[in-house]
Amino acid sequence: MNIIVCVKQVPDTEKVKLNPETNTLIRDGVENIMNPYDAQALETALILKDATGANVKVVSMGPEQAKDVLKDAIALGADEAVLLSDRVFAGSDTLATSIALANAIKAAGEYDLILCGKQAIDGDTAQVGPEIAELLGIPQVTCAMKVAFEDGKFLVERENESTAQTLAVAGPVLVTVTRAEKEPRFASIKGKMKARKTEIPVLTGADVAVDEKTVGLAGSPTKVVKVFTPQVAKIESEIINEEDADKAVDMLVEKLVGAQIITR
């Protein structure tokens, strides 16, 4: 079984601040991490690897420094990793990002399962996984909490606010992961040593046969019109300190009438 995991390097958003003058992210000195949902997707892949002996390949698109998260993935137990990095991808929106990643996945050869995080904690769109599935013409299951392989099919457990479902899907299929069945594992010393020695191959747009017109700023149908920090309006508030509910309601009604919000 061949599993591909899409992993994005993101700034640790808990530490990111916004420059109030320019309304851009202050990235200086901010640590980059593996997108937390992608760590859950990777753990899901590694659980399947433990059960079936699957080969796990990790793919990322980003600048040279994104090799760090790929090395982290190798240290945790991924077998291979590849970085997609090229100036032609600069300014890509979610569709252009998905086109680049779908081409990289096609170039990687046969696959049975593609795992993505539910969403990236910086972009937060949750669009890239479903778009990749659409571009590759394969089924998708979103928001998974567990993926198992039984009788030639992937059994995917997913949950939303009111229901839980278990779906049986034949591969190849793309699954986006909310959380893994278990807490993500820690890297072993052996894994860390393997990661240190691993050279991460870097592929360009030409290497994965991307049509340059479909990626980068020019190929992106989404344009950012404005970025700003919303002003939080200051609202005067008052608490009615009255334990008797009937009296509290009467007092509230008096105040609303006095403020001419309601009439008697």
State the binding string over 14-53 for ligand FAD (x if CB under 6 A, else -).
---------------------x-xx---------------
Number of residues that bind ligand FAD (CB under 6 A): 32
State the binding string over 191-230 for ligand FAD (x if CB under 6 A, else -).
-----------------------------x-xxx------
Binding of residue 139 to ligand FAD (CB under 6 A): no
**Which residue's structure tokens are 């991460």?**
200
User: By CB neighbour count within 10 A (0-12 exposed, 13-18 middle, 19+ buried), where does 226 fall?
Assistant: exposed
- Determine the residue with CB nearest ligand FAD: 123
Query: What's the min distance (Å) between Cβ of 110 and ligand FAD?
Result: 20
Spatial contact of 111 and 3, defined as CB atoms under 8 Å apart: yes
Binding of residue 147 to ligand FAD (CB under 6 A): no
Query: What's the min distance (Å) between Cβ of 87 and ligand FAD?
Result: 11
Of 12-20, 92-100, 192-200, 205-213: span binding ligand FAD (CB under 6 A): 92-100
What b/e sequence results for 171-197 when a residue is b if at least 16 CB atoms lie within 10 Å of its CB, and e otherwise? bbbbbbbbbbeeebbebeeebeebbee
Query: What's the min distance (Å) between Cβ of 173 and ligand FAD?
Result: 15
CA distance 228 to 50: 46
What b/e sequence results for 50-63 when a residue is b if at least 16 CB atoms lie within 10 Å of its CB, and e otherwise? eeeebbbbbbbbbe
Subset of 62-81 contacting ligand FAD (CB under 6 A): 62
**Closest C-alpha to 139, from 150, 126, 147, 129:** 129
Structure tokens, 165: 């479902």
Query: What's the min distance (Å) between Cβ of 165 and ligand FAD?
Result: 21
Question: If you ran DSSP here, which 8-state letter would residue 244 be given?
Answer: S
CA distance 198 to 201: 9
Is the Cα dihedral 246, 247, 248, 252 positive or negative?
positive
Query: What's the min distance (Å) between Cβ of 261 and ligand FAD?
Result: 41
State the binding string over 107-126 for ligand FAD (x if CB under 6 A, else -).
---------xx-xx-xxxxx
Query: What's the min distance (Å) between Cβ of 72 and ligand FAD?
Result: 13
Q: Which residues bind ligand FAD (CB under 6 A)?
A: 6-8, 35, 37-38, 60-62, 90-94, 97, 101, 116-117, 119-120, 122-129, 220, 222-224
